[in-house]
Amino acid sequence: MLKLLFHTKTCELLGIHAIGDGATELVYIGQAVMAHHGKINYSVDTAFNYPTLAEC
């Protein structure tokens, strides 16, 4: 399960929650976006690889 929390007016990523077997592979993406004050457009416009090597 993945939950992303964005500010409604600025569209800035405020938080990320990841639960499950692949959580450690997903949470770092949110951390990197938050460190650079990323907006929702980053999540919408970026293609993420799936499945990952760890899932194989």
Q: Where are the domains of the chain?
A: 2-55
Say how far apart CA 6 and CA 35 lie, in whole Å. Answer: 14
pLDDT value of residue 1: 84
pLDDT value at 56 more than 70: no
Say how far apart CA 40 and CA 46 lie, in whole Å. Answer: 10
Q: Does residue 5 contact residue 13 with C-beta atoms inside 8 Å?
A: yes
Residue 49 CA: distances (Å) to CA of 8, 25, 34: 27, 11, 20
Q: pLDDT band at 52, cuts 50/70/90?
A: low
Q: pLDDT band at 2, cuts 50/70/90?
A: confident
The model's pTM is: 0.70
Residue 42 CA: distances (Å) to CA of 6, 18, 21: 12, 18, 24
